[in-house]
Chains A and B, each alone.
Chain A
Amino acid sequence: MATPSGPQGERENYLNKHYGVGSWLLTTDHKRISLLYLLSITFFFFIGGFFALLIRLELLTPAGDLVQADTYNKLFTMHGQVMVFFFLIPSIPAVLGNFLVPMMIGAKDLAFPRINLLSWYLYVIGGVMMLHCMLTGGVDTGWTFYVPFSTAFSNTKVIEAGLAIFVAGFSSILTGLNFIVTIHRMRAPGMTWSRLPLFIWAHYATSIIQVLGTPVIAITLVLVVAERALHLGIFDPKLGGDPLLFQHLFWFYSHPAVYIMILPSMGVVTEIIACFSRKRIFGYGFVAFSSIAIAVFGFLVWAHHMFVAGISVYAALVFSILSYAVAVPSAVKVFNWTATLYKGSIRYDAPMLYAFGFLGLFTIGGLTGLFLACLGIDMHVHDTYFVIAHFHYIMVGGALMGYLGGMHFWWPKISGKLYPEGWARLAALIVFIGFNLTFFPQFILGYLGMPRRYYQYPPEFQVLNVLSTAGATVLGIGYLLPMIYFLWSMRYGKPAPDNPWNAAGLEWKTQSPPTTFNFEEEPVVTWEAYNYEELDAPQKQEVPVAR
């Protein structure tokens, strides 16, 4: 297989094996599907980012002057829907997970390659429906679709948006299902559960949430559509329904959805930290278990979004205490990553800078979560910019930092090319600074009382809003840079060696880019994950494959 086929040693790989549109659109190769996802989610990321830019520009002044109020409401709605459902949820699982899950466990592909392709098509169909919804007028309910506004009062394209997300949800379910079966059934000989990279554990936990949680949002959206179109009295009190029922159902999925975004990112960061400090992860078992604990506890905390919504005081107490329970495994992870650095041999390559960024931002995001889980404080900061800042620290500071870190770490494997390191480090720095400048002022705004989803605001909030908008501009540049140099490297980058970081993990033991079936022969695993000691030992043999 891996024989030189070109003059420059351009070996046959999954990218050059076949050419033509058909070879991509009908592929069942998990690596090609991963790239299809990469293209499509990047497209939606920039759409969502464009909405964010307009939101920040509108908020530069207290008066509503850039766009109409209705337009503004559509902007933040579609920013949320696009970023959550069409970027963050698929981001790491569908791109990096798709590429790496089979490779990391020594498999040729996912368990169901054609279902994998189907999941991408469902995503695209959902995406096209969403685009159609936006282009024909958009939707203004907030990404949360709260009833009875969405079912009886909004006169925008609620049904279209709901159905688009409904369809895209199945893409997420199928990806999760595929990962679960793959991780159970397709591991190479010797790849026991305790030898799995923690990236795999994180994706396993994520998949559980995707499979168990997503059907709930799907049916909830169907109920919204049914009530809006057929006036069934499910949620609208005028028709005998209960609006709080909707909130329970919505958050039953949408809180765990946050873990769909952050768990894979934690998995990425774990791999990066191990590699760039040349160490096994401190407390492997605890880190693996904490992913599962987060997935399980994550299902039991949804009503902490509803402390002031009109639920009983006693329900609020239960959900508050459970929310603190889910904070423990997250804290454990942070402590373990920190302890991994101890006595390491640390380098600051671009992926590691993103991992550091993740650590900092996730810590702040996680700790501000303690404020929101606290009943006495949530009464004041609920539905203010404090919440906006908090979840952006988790979902952008955490999830997106991890995604970018992972893209840098595995880019040589994915593309077979090296990106310019200097630019990559600069971009990491710009993102970190821009991010904090954008979102830190929003914590203060929130405690001062500025409500979210406000098109215009009292003048005393302006200074902090200007800071935030300035930060968003910096952040935007930070996000554009990687896209530019990744594209540049595809054509002009130096060819990547098979294992540029000298990293552990089966994905690095095959060529860059890999062949269609990943490995020349089925690997047999005889070592623990993160066997950096062996990799770094003075080399007795040429390749430290196995003991």
Chain B
Amino acid sequence: MFDNFPLWPDRASTAAGNVDALFIFLLIVSGLMTALIFTAVVYFSARYRRRRGVPAEQIEGSTPLELTWSFIPLVVFMVIFAWGAVVYFKSRTPPRDSTEVYVVAKQWMWKLEHAEGQREINELHVPVGRDVKLIMTSQDVIHSFFVPAFRMKQDVLPGRYTVAWFRATKPGTYHLFCTQYCGTQHSGMIGSIIVMEPAQYEAWMSGGTTGPLSATGEKIFAELGCVTCHRTDSQGRGPNLQGVFGRPVQLEDGRTVTADENYIRECILDPGAKRVKGFQPIMPTFQGLISEEQLNALVAYVKSLSQPVGAGTKTATAAPQDQDKDTIQAAGSQVNP
């Protein structure tokens, strides 16, 4: 009977249980506090209602009591804080070896691209039991990627990547909502997360494959002429990108940054901002020249240069896509301008 009147959301990710446990703990704590205060107020109001000839008894206050009811809540609050911080930390730290999905949000749709090359709109198919990392950016305003059943939410900003991850635990179809107000069709910017059993998922993945995203990126890398400077030896005018991703990079201005997705992105769009030590500022900007999808493909390609040979993406075994170079070529030409 609760189909049309649910009182608790679906619990379909590893995070959901953690968040729910914490939420129930808070419900109990705040329920007790409410009961305590309400009981006292109601009891005092009834017990000490005005009677003729019974004056109020003046009480100055009590420092020990004040300190007690400051200190005890503070301790309770710190417990809540610490527990909340642990749950948050877990949800903010994607495990290594997660399957990666690139998300591009725009008014008013979600464009999702699996590292293996599958593209979806307003739908995301994922298998049960695998860590999925979302690398998200927006083409226009701020959006927010929210899956209530996963207890997971992350704003999606223009001009940079934000990251979220989840591991689904229960097959089914779940809501995907945009929760950052983004204009006219904000409430229409919804979609579905379709969680499948691994076998089903493999079947879905093998249909309509277009080749891995990194291969698309490699093609763009060649088309844009990046290869002429970013050579695979040490003679290039730009840094050799082999093995760069995930490592610290020495900058010209003395700082050191870690080469993460946002750094690669920034180097493509604003090459002068964080220039690598020892290189001339000769790289042109690609701001406005390439789409978010092309950018994602380039980032995926640069990342693939840092993966040990043969490791590839975890699902590489699932599809026969590696063999067929023609498919990859086709995928490259399909990239939206």
Top 9 A-B pairs, shortest CB-CB distance: A449-B148, A237-B159, A376-B87, A375-B88, A374-B84, A283-B61, A341-B44, A367-B30, A454-B187
Instruction: Tell me, rounded to whole Å, the shortest Cβ–Cβ distance linking A368 to chain B.
Output: 7
Interface-forming stretch among A190-198, A203-211, A355-363? A355-363
- Tell me the complex Cα distance, A384–B185, Å: 17
CB of B58 closer than 8 Å to a CB of A:
yes
Q: Are A148 and B141 in contact (CB under 8 A)?
A: yes
Judge whether A456 and B153 touch: CB under 8 Å. Answer: no
- Is there contact, CB below 8 Å, between A374 and B26? yes
Contact A460 B69 (CB under 8 A): no
CA distance A316 to B93 in the complex (A): 14
A interface footprint on B33-70 (CB within 8 Å = 1, 0 otherwise):
11001101100110011110011111111100110011
Q: Is A447 an interface residue (CB 8 A)?
A: yes
- In the bound complex, how far is the Cα of B183 from the Cα of A140, in angstroms? 8
Which residues on the A side are within 8 Å of B9 (C-beta)? 447-449
Do A308 and B142 touch (CB < 8 A)? no
Interface residue? B177 (CB, 8 A):
yes
- A449 and B193 CA atoms in complex are apart in Å by 14
- B1-56, CB < 8 A from A: 3-9, 18-19, 22-23, 26, 29-30, 33-34, 37-38, 40-41, 44-45, 48-51, 54-56
Instruction: Tell me the residues in window 57-94 of chain B with beta carbons closer than 8 Å to chain A beta carbons.
Output: 57-62, 65-66, 69-70, 73-74, 77-78, 80-81, 83-89, 91-93
Complex CA distance for A244 and B159, rounded to whole angstroms: 11
Q: How far is the CA of A356 from the CA of B45 in the complex (A)?
A: 10
How many chain A residues touch B (CB < 8 A): the figure is 94
Task: Report the minimal beta-carbon distance from B235 to chain A, rounded to whole angstroms.
Answer: 33
**A448-B8 contact in complex given A345-B54, A376-B19, A383-B153, C-beta closer than 8 Å:** yes
Contact of A69 with B185 at beta-carbon distance under 8 Å, contacts A316-B88, A321-B81, A338-B41 already known:
yes
Interchain Cβ contacts under 8 Å between A and B, 27 examples: A153-B107, A244-B157, A278-B50, A282-B62, A283-B61, A327-B77, A331-B73, A338-B37, A341-B48, A342-B44, A342-B48, A343-B57, A363-B38, A370-B77, A371-B23, A371-B30, A374-B81, A375-B87, A376-B83, A377-B84, A380-B152, A383-B144, A384-B179, A452-B181, A453-B187, A456-B188, A536-B56
Shortest distance between the CB of B213 and any CB in chain A (Å): 23
15 additional A-B pairs beyond A278-B56, A380-B152, beta carbons within 8 Å, are A140-B184, A153-B140, A238-B158, A243-B142, A278-B50, A324-B78, A364-B34, A370-B26, A371-B26, A382-B153, A382-B179, A449-B149, A449-B175, A454-B187, A458-B190
Q: Chain B: residues with CB nearer than 8 A to chain A?
A: 3-9, 18-19, 22-23, 26, 29-30, 33-34, 37-38, 40-41, 44-45, 48-51, 54-62, 65-66, 69-70, 73-74, 77-78, 80-81, 83-89, 91-93, 107, 140-142, 144, 146, 148-149, 151-155, 157-160, 162, 175, 177-188, 190
Please judge, given known A-B contacts A283-B66, A374-B80, A382-B179, whether A462 and B4 are in contact too, CB under 8 Å: yes
A346 and B44 contact, CB distance less than 8 A: yes
The distance in angstroms between the C-alpha atoms of A346 and B18, with both chains bound, is 45
Residues in A neighbouring B144, C-beta threshold 8 A: 308, 383
Residues of B within 8 A of A517 (CB): none
A374-401 interface mask toward B, CB cutoff 8 Å, 1 = contact, 0 = none? 1111111011100000000000000000
Distance between Cα atoms of A244 and B22 in the complex (Å): 28
Contacts A324-B81, A380-B153, A460-B5 hold; do A370 and B30 have CB atoms under 8 A apart?
Answer: yes
Chain A 153-164 near chain B by CB (<8 Å), digits 1 or 0: 110000000000
Q: Bits for A340-357, please: 1 = Cβ < 8 Å to B, else 0.
A: 011111111000000010
Check B38–A237 contact: CB distance below 8 A.
no
- Contacting pair B180 A146 (CB below 8 A): yes
Q: A317-B85, A338-B37, A370-B30 are in contact. Are A310 and B162 (CB under 8 A)?
A: yes
Q: Complex formed: what's the CA distance from A67 to B97 in Å?
A: 48
A484 at the interface (CB under 8 A from B): no
Decide if A149 touches B61 in the complex (CB within 8 Å). Answer: no
Tell me, yes or no, whether A279 is within 8 Å of chain B by CB: yes
B80 A370 Cβ-Cβ under 8 A: yes
- Which single member of A278, A283, A375, A457 contacts B55 (CB below 8 Å)? A278
With a CB–CB cut-off of 8 A, which chain B residues contact A382? 153, 179
Residue of B nearest to A73 (CB): B184
Measured CB to CB, the closest approach of chain B to A293, in angstroms, equals: 10
Give complex CA distance A316, B7 in Å: 29
How many angstroms between the C-alpha atoms of A463 and B144 in the bound complex?
A: 26
Give the docked Cα–Cα distance between A324 and B9 (Å).
27
- A332 with B34: CB separation less than 8 A: no
Which residue from A154, A342, A346, A370 sits with its C-beta under 8 Å from B59? A342
Query: For the complex, is A215 an interface residue (Cβ under 8 Å from B)?
Result: no
Interface centre among B5, B83, B181 (most CB of A within 10 A): B181
Kindly list chain A residues whose C-beta atoms are within 8 Å of the C-beta of B141: 146, 148-149, 152-153
Q: How far is the CB of A538 from chain B (nearest CB, A)?
A: 9
* Cross-chain contact B186 with A376 (CB below 8 angstroms): no
- In the assembled complex, the CB of B72 is this many whole angstroms from the nearest CB of chain A, namely 9
Residues on the B chain within 8 Å of A451, using CB = 146, 177-179, 187
Check A452–B158 contact: CB distance below 8 A: no
| Nearest residue, chain B, Cβ from A532 | B56
Which residues does chain A contribute within 8 Å of B54, judged by CB atoms?
345
Interface string of A71-85 (1 = CB under 8 A from B): 001000000000000
Closest residue of chain A to B269 (Cβ to Cβ) is A237
CA distance A457 to B148 in the complex (A): 14
Given A237-B157, A345-B51, check contact A363 B37 (CB 8 Å).
yes
Cross-chain contact of B142 among A148, A307, A363, A453 (Cβ < 8 A): A148
Is there an interface contact between A376 and B41, defined as CB atoms closer than 8 Å? no
Q: For the complex, give the distance between the alpha carbons of A138 and B46 in Å.
A: 50
Question: In whole angstroms, what is the CA distance A153 to B9 when docked?
Answer: 34
Contact mask A519-547 → B, CB, 8 Å, 1/0?
00000000000001100100000000000
Closest chain-B Cβ to A359's Cβ sits at a distance in Å of 6
CA of A460 to CA of B149, assembled, Å: 14
B19 touches A379 (CB 8 A): yes
Assess A237 versus B160: contact at CB under 8 Å? Given A149-B183, A380-B148, A380-B151: yes
- Give A334's nearest chain B residue, CB to CB: B37
* B19, A146: Cβ atoms closer than 8 Å: no
- Once the chains are docked, how many angstroms separate the CA of A375 from the CA of B84? 5
- Cβ–Cβ < 8 Å partners of B190 in chain A: 458
A152 to B107, CA, bound (A): 13
- Cross-chain contact A339 with B5 (CB below 8 angstroms): no
Given contacts A149-B141, A453-B181, contact A343 B5 (CB under 8 A): no
